Amino acid sequence: MALGRDRTIAYARNGDVHIAYTVLGDGPVDLVYTNGIFSNLEIMWEDAHWSRYAERLASFSRLIVFDMRGIGLSDRGPETPYLELQMDDMRAVMDAAGSETAALFGAARGGAMTMLFAATYPERVRALVLYAASVRTMRSDDWPWGRTPEETEEFFRTYTDNFGTGENLRFQAPESWNERYQRWWARFERLIASKGGFRELGTVFRQNDVRAVAPTIQAPTLLLHRVGDPVVPIGMSRWLAETVPQATLVELAGDDHIVFLGDADALLDEVEEFLTGARRAPETDRVLATVLFTDIVGSTEQAAKLGDRRWSELLERHHADVRRELERFRGKEIDSAGDGFMASFDGPARAIRCARAIEDANTLLGIDVRAGVHTGECERLGDKLSGIAVHIAARVAASAGAGEVVVSQTVKDLVAGSGIEFEDRGVHELKGVPDAWRLFAVRR
């Protein structure tokens, strides 16, 4: 498998409309993938959730990802981007990428178009994966899973009003939402489409009804749906399971609608087994690790003061500074979203010194950074860390002020003799974490 970091963006032409796509991996099966509305092939890689998700797909396929018409880097074209045009764009992408037959993966609002393609071009579709596919938006006497006209109008009005603020993330991904991630998501939304473009797409999607297509799909179909999905009721996938001839439904735990958030590994395990016939053995063990969280203090106010362009430039320099110091102190970047970083170290003293170096570098940029450090047993799953120690580190960071590095008692005890000095900050109740924790601020 040759994945690397080659994310070259190419364009397929459908008439005068250009559709952006990229190809990753060299697996035995072509997998043509669309995220639906939430896609921009240029900046999505800033999000560690998406990067890890896409690279996992590309580890067992030749992954062809594209931005739908009117989304991200793709043209809107002279006509409203209705379903048939979206389907034609997928065909153009496959032709441009040299894919005669492929498995298709339609996520959320990309599901209806993917279903239409599979039914229209059965000779080009070897398998179909649908995640939380929206079959029909509006409720009717024979479709209880849609919304009433009033509910639909309110739903799309609220979505459109909130578009570009990141507030929609709180509703779409309640398990993954946090303030740092919302700030990044707001920028992501603004680079997906204009408010007017998003409103137009909402008009198209609210009129969707592909129920007549479902019984004609010939490809083996995997249906995936999280039971707590707040956007698309799971009843739609249950109906598809009864209607699509060769369909299998896997109901997954979770409340996040965005496909690459939440427990994405559980979902990817199902896709890998469906397409390859084999499920990846879990790569999990428990390790003692020091976890560092950092973020910028007052980032919302600074962003508003500087404007999008200058704030984006400042964030790029901030990210470069953080990554340089992580490399210098042998830290490993685990996650990043917006202006925040999570990293792991094999020693707490190096984590503290790295945090100080990050704060010093960003002071020169006029940025105040806060940091928190905790050492504890973590569960390692691939490149990720999870467990109570990670939550404690995040809460310790949240207690820090501008320019401060705050650590747990565990960290203070482990660095005894290192020359690092501390100020006692007393006992704290950490939200969502049992027991009381004594915290310490690192002295300059």
Of residues 205 and 156, which shows the higher confidence score?
Answer: 156
Q: In terms of domains, do 67 and 165 share one?
A: yes
Of residues 249 and 287, which shows the higher confidence score?
Answer: 249
Q: Band the pLDDT of 305: cuts 50, 70, 90.
A: confident
**What is the pLDDT averaged over residues 58-76?**
94
Q: Is 60 exceeded by the pLDDT of residue 116?
A: yes
**What is the pLDDT averaged over residues 199-212?**
79
> Cα 189 vs. chain centroid, distance in angstroms?
12
Q: Is 60 exceeded by the pLDDT of residue 3?
A: no
In a domain, 2, yes or no: no
Gap between the Cα atoms of 241 and 243, Å rounded: 6
Q: Band the pLDDT of 386: cuts 50, 70, 90.
A: confident
Q: What is the pLDDT of residue 109?
A: 86
Choosing from 238, 256, 276, the residue where a domain stops is 276
> What are the residue ranges of helices labelled H in 232-347?
235-243, 264-276, 299-306, 308-328
Q: What is the pLDDT of residue 100?
A: 95
Q: Is 90 exceeded by the pLDDT of residue 227?
A: yes
In a domain, 4, yes or no: no
Q: What is the pLDDT of residue 281?
A: 60
Q: In terms of domains, do 293 and 260 share one?
A: no
Instruction: Look up residue 153 and give its amino acid.
Output: E
Q: What is the pLDDT of residue 4?
A: 41
> In angstroms, what is the C-alpha Rg of the chain?
23
- Are 43 and 2 contacting, i.e. CB atoms less than 8 angstroms apart? no
Q: In terms of domains, do 29 and 119 share one?
A: yes
Q: In terms of domains, do 252 and 106 share one?
A: yes
Q: What is the pLDDT of residue 2?
A: 38
The overall average pLDDT reported for the chain is 91
End-to-end CA distance of the chain: 47
Q: What is the pLDDT of residue 377?
A: 87
Pick the closest to residue 249 from 135, 114, 130 (CA basis). 130
Gap between the Cα atoms of 392 and 415, Å rounded: 18
Gap between the Cα atoms of 412 and 418, Å rounded: 10
In a domain, 324, yes or no: yes
Q: Is 60 exceeded by the pLDDT of residue 325?
A: yes
Count the alpha carbons within 13 Å of 144 in the hemisphere toward its beta carbon. 4
Residue with tokens 């704290």: 428
Q: What is the pLDDT of residue 1?
A: 35
In a domain, 54, yes or no: yes
Gap between the Cα atoms of 53 and 30, Å rounded: 16
Q: Is 90 exceeded by the pLDDT of residue 431?
A: no
Total structural domains within the chain: 2
Please report, for the domain that includes residue 374, its CATH number: 3.30.70.1230
Of residues 20 and 46, which shows the higher confidence score?
Answer: 20
pLDDT digits (tens, 9 = 90+) for 71-98: 999 999 888 888 888 899 999 999 999 9
In a domain, 263, yes or no: yes
Of residues 387 and 371, which shows the higher confidence score?
Answer: 371
Please list, in sequence order, all residues whose beta carbon lies within 8 angstroms of the beta carbon of residue 428, skipping any fewer than 6 positions away. 399, 436, 437, 438, 439
Q: In terms of domains, do 302 and 339 share one?
A: yes
Domain range spanning residue 361?
284-442
Structure tokens at 82: 């209705």
pLDDT digits (tens, 9 = 90+) for 361-376: 988 888 899 999 999 9
- Are 235 and 142 contacting, i.e. CB atoms less than 8 angstroms apart? no
Q: In terms of domains, do 218 and 342 share one?
A: no
Q: Is 90 exceeded by the pLDDT of residue 311?
A: no
- Are 130 and 156 contacting, i.e. CB atoms less than 8 angstroms apart? no
pLDDT digits (tens, 9 = 90+) for 262-300: 999 999 999 999 999 977 665 557 788 999 999 999 888
Q: What is the pLDDT of residue 191?
A: 92
| 15 backbone φψ class: left, alpha, beta (φ>0; ψ -120 to 50) | left
Choosing from 242, 276, 310, the residue where a domain stops is 276
Q: In terms of domains, do 289 and 268 share one?
A: no
Q: In terms of domains, do 358 and 337 share one?
A: yes
Report CA-CA distances (Å) from 435 to 249, 375, 392: 41, 16, 11
Q: In terms of domains, do 97 and 230 share one?
A: yes
Choosing from 228, 247, 276, the residue where a domain stops is 276
In a domain, 211, yes or no: yes
* Predicted TM-score (pTM) of this structure: 0.68
Gap between the Cα atoms of 350 and 326, Å rounded: 10
Span of 110-114, 194-198, 393-397, 417-421 with lowest mean pLDDT: 194-198
Q: In terms of domains, do 267 and 386 share one?
A: no
Q: Band the pLDDT of 224: cuts 50, 70, 90.
A: very high
Q: What is the pLDDT of residue 296?
A: 92
SS3 state at 423: strand
> Does the CA dihedral 194-196-201-206 come out positive or negative?
positive
Please report, for the domain that includes residue 209, its CATH number: 3.40.50.1820
Pick the closest to residue 113 from 50, 34, 38 (CA basis). 34
Structure tokens at 431: 């939200």
Task: State the DSSP code for 65.
Answer: E
SS3 state at 295: strand
Q: In terms of domains, do 215 and 299 share one?
A: no
**What is the pLDDT averaged over residues 384-412?**
93
In a domain, 403, yes or no: yes
Instruction: Tell me what percent of the residues of the chain surpass a pLDDT of 70.
Output: 98
Q: In terms of domains, do 158 and 269 share one?
A: yes
CB-count burial class (<10 Å; 0-12, 13-18, 19+) for 297? middle
In a domain, 20, yes or no: yes
Gap between the Cα atoms of 387 and 393, Å rounded: 10
**What is the pLDDT averaged over residues 23-39?**
93
Task: State the DSSP code for 68.
Answer: P
> Does the CA dihedral 94-97-102-107 come out positive or negative?
negative
